[in-house]
Amino acid sequence: MRDRLKEIWERQKKFDDIVFKNAGVTREGTTLHRKIALVAEVGEMFNENPDFKCWKKHKNTEVTDALKEEFVDVLHFLISLGIDIFKDESEMFEWYCRKNNKNLERQKTGY
């Protein structure tokens, strides 16, 4: 089976290339816009989250397709920005594991 993270990385790179070409922009010239879009997508994801609006009396507690779709939109922008930061998906994974281990140690020491 193919490495799923590698597949996501490659798909995002191809998608970004298409978007940048169609819009007549560059990866470097869109960094700020993609950061802002990430924040906007997180807001949209929150709006689809049944637990977000604690003041509502009638809550749908089921995970909806809309929530899943917004989560993936967030992931699109995170990976797109990750492509700017890391040389490849393997380096990103190494940093993830490093930070995850650090966070686990913090939990053990009452952080």
Q: pLDDT (tens digit, 0 to 9) for every residue of the chain, 111 residues total?
A: 569 999 999 999 999 999 999 999 999 999 999 999 999 999 999 999 878 777 877 777 788 999 999 999 999 999 999 999 999 999 999 999 999 999 999 999 988
Dmax over CA atoms of the chain, in Å, equals 50
- Per the structure, the complete domain to which residue 58 belongs is given by 4-108
Q: Are 60 and 28 in contact (CB under 8 A)?
A: no
**For the chain, what is the domain count?**
1
pTM of structure: 0.89
The CATH number of the domain holding residue 55 is 1.10.287.1080
Q: Which of 92, 74, 96, 94 is nearest to 83 (CA)?
A: 92
